[in-house]
Amino acid sequence: MATPSPHTIPLRTILIALPLLSLLVIFSHHLLYRPSSPLPPPLLTHVLHPSSPPEATAAPANNNSTAASSSTPPPAPTTLRHVVFGIASSRRTLPLRLPLLRLWLHTPSPSPTTPHGFVFLDAPAPAAVAKALPHGISLRVSADASRFPYTHPRGLPSAVRVARIAGELISALDADENDGNDTLRPTPRWLVLADDDTAFVVPNLLRVLNKYDHREPWYIGARSESAAQNAWHGFSMAYGGAGVAISWTLARRLGRVIDSCVLRYPHVYGSDARIFTCLAELGVELTHEPGFHQIDLHGDISGLLRAHPLSPLVSLHHLDQVYPLYPGMDRTRAIQHFFRAANADPARILQQTVCYDSKRSLTVSIAWGYSVQVLKGNVLLPDLLAVQKTFVPWKRGRNATDVYMFNTKHVPRDECKRGALFILKSISSGECKTETTYSRQPLRKCPPDLIPLRNLNIIKVKAEKLRLIPGKALRRHCCDIVPSSSDTTMDVNIRKCKDDELIAMHS
C-alpha cells in the first residue's frame, strides 16, 4: 500500500468541509444579489391571521401596478349623452306615435342632455313627419331583409327587419364618426331598443343603467306581465316593447353576429326573441329589472299602476291598447297628465304609500302621481300590495289564461265595497318638495254606511322629492294623516319610516 503524501488533504476532512463551503457560497450570493425591495410576506401570515386586512401584510407602496390601479378614477355617471336609442317603427305607425315620442324624449333644444337615436322605418316617411321628430333623433329606412327566412305561422316577417336594428344602428354611428359628424358626443355606453309606442321615464332609466358597469356585457329588461305570454314566447328574454338595454360592448358584438342568428332562427316569433337567441349564443343571460313594463294587458290597468313595486317606473308599453290612464280624459291628455307628475318627481311616480287612521278605522293607499284609495276598516298591507285585476288578459277567447307574474286579487263585484277613489287633479313642485291634489270620483249609489267619509272631496299629499342613492336598499315610505278641521279635505304627509316602524293600524 502506498504511503500518503504529507501535502495531501485527508478525504475525511474534505467530506466535512463540503457542506460548509456550500453554505458559504449561498450566503455570498445572497449578499451580492440582494433584491432592491423586501420579499413579500409568506403566505402563512394570512393563514395564521385571517382577520388581518391585506393592507397590513402587503408589500410597501413601491409596487407600481398597485399604485396605478388605485389611482384610476371610476367612470363618470351615465347620462343621456351616453345612451343611444333604437326605435322600431313604420311609415304607417310613426305619425300616430309621434306625440308620444315627443313627450318622453322632450328636452330643451339645444341642450347638453339632448337624446340621441334613430327611428327605423320600413319606407321613407313624409317630410313633415321627419321635421316633427324630437331633437337628436334621426330617421332611417331599414335595409332590405327579404333574403332572411321567416317561418313562424302567426307572426310578421317585419320581426326580422326590427331584429337587425342593432347592427344597422352601430354601422350608422361608425359612419358618422368616420365622417366627423358626431365628434361632440362621448362614446356610447348603452343601446336601448324599444317600440314607437314605448314611453320611458328617462331619469329612472338612467338610474337603472348606473347600477351596472357599462364595460361589461349586460342585457337588461323585463318579462311580460302575462304568464301565458311568457310560456308562449319564453321566460328568459327581455320583451322588446318594455325596452331592452344592452351595454355598448355587448351591442357591438351583437351587431357583428345578428345576421347569422337571424338565419338560424327563422321559426321564432318576434324581434326580441331573435335578439335573445343571439345573446344567449354569446353566453349572456337576461338581468331582470321590474321597472320595465311590457303591459301585455287589455282594458283598465289601474290595478297594476296602484300597486307598482318599489323599483322606479322605467317604461310603459301598449298605451294605445288600454284605457286612458286617467278616467275622463282621452289617451293623449291622460299621458300628458301622467308625465307632468313623472317629470316633477321621477323616482316617486306610482310609489305606493299606505297609512291608517285608527280613530275613524280608515285605510289610505296612495299611488303617488296617480290616485288615492280610501277604504273602510283595517286593510292589511300585504292585501294592498296585491294587484287588483281591473284588466283582462292580452289573449282573449276560450283558451285565455288569467294568470300573471305577480300576486293578484279580484275586484269586489259590489262597487260599494271598493272604497272611495281619488284621481290626480294637479301638482305643484318646488326645489325639494311636491304637493299633489287628488279629486274624488263621482259617488256611487251606495248606502250611507258603506261610503267612507261621504263629504270628503279633496286629498292633498305633501312629500319631499325622492332621492335614490346607488347601492342603498329600497324601502317603502310611511305617511301620516294630518288632523283637519274640515271634513271635505284630507291632508297627508309622506315621510321616511322610522327604523322599527311597522306599516300597520295601531290601536
> What's the CA dihedral at 88, 91, 95, 99 to 10 degrees?
10
91 neighbors 121 (Cβ within 8 angstroms): yes
Residue 22: pLDDT band (50, 70, 90) is low
Mean pLDDT for 333-348 is 97
Residue 170 has pLDDT above 90, yes or no: yes
- The three-state secondary structure class of 371 is strand
Mean pLDDT for 417-436 is 93
Mean pLDDT for 161-184 is 83
Mean pLDDT for 116-129 is 95
Q: Which of 270, 200, 209, 272 is nearest to 240 (CA)?
A: 272
Cβ neighbors of 440 (< 8 A, separation 6 or more) are 420, 421, 422, 456, 457, 458
Residue 31: pLDDT band (50, 70, 90) is very low
435 neighbors 428 (Cβ within 8 angstroms): yes
Task: Identify the pLDDT of residue 72.
Answer: 63
Mean pLDDT for 295-313 is 97
Mean pLDDT for 153-168 is 96
Share of the chain above pLDDT 70, in %: 82
Sign of CA dihedral 408, 412, 418, 423: positive
Amino acid identity at 409: K
141 neighbors 121 (Cβ within 8 angstroms): yes
SS3 for 131-145 is HCCCCCEEEEECCCC
Query: What's the CA gap between 497 and 488, in Å, rounded?
Result: 27
- Interval 351-372: pLDDT, tens: 999 999 999 999 999 999 999 9
Q: What is the mean pLDDT of the chain?
A: 86
Query: What's the CA gap between 292 and 223, in Å, rounded?
Result: 8
Query: What's the CA gap between 254 and 403, in Å, rounded?
Result: 33
Give the count of beta carbons closer than 10 Å to the beta carbon of residue 195.
20
Burial 457-477 (b: 16+ CB within 10 A, else e): bebbbebeebeeeeeeeeeeb
Task: Identify the pLDDT of residue 180.
Answer: 63
Residue 243 has pLDDT above 90, yes or no: yes
- Interval 37-46: pLDDT, tens: 443 443 333 3
Q: Which of 245, 216, 436 is nearest to 342 (CA)?
A: 436
295 neighbors 194 (Cβ within 8 angstroms): no
Query: What's the CA gap between 172 and 188, in Å, rounded?
Result: 13
Task: Identify the pLDDT of residue 401.
Answer: 83
Q: Report how far apart, in Å, the C-alpha atoms of 94 and of each of 78, 221, 320 are.
A: 29, 24, 13
Q: Which of 226, 220, 216, 225 is nearest to 253 (CA)?
A: 216
Residue 53 has pLDDT above 70, yes or no: no
Query: What's the CA gap between 311 and 303, in Å, rounded?
Result: 17
Residue 151 has pLDDT above 70, yes or no: yes
Residue 221: alpha-carbon gap to chain centroid: 7
Query: What's the CA gap between 431 and 125, in Å, rounded?
Result: 41
Task: Identify the pLDDT of residue 484.
Answer: 83
Q: Which of 300, 319, 296, 305 is nearest to 401 (CA)?
A: 296
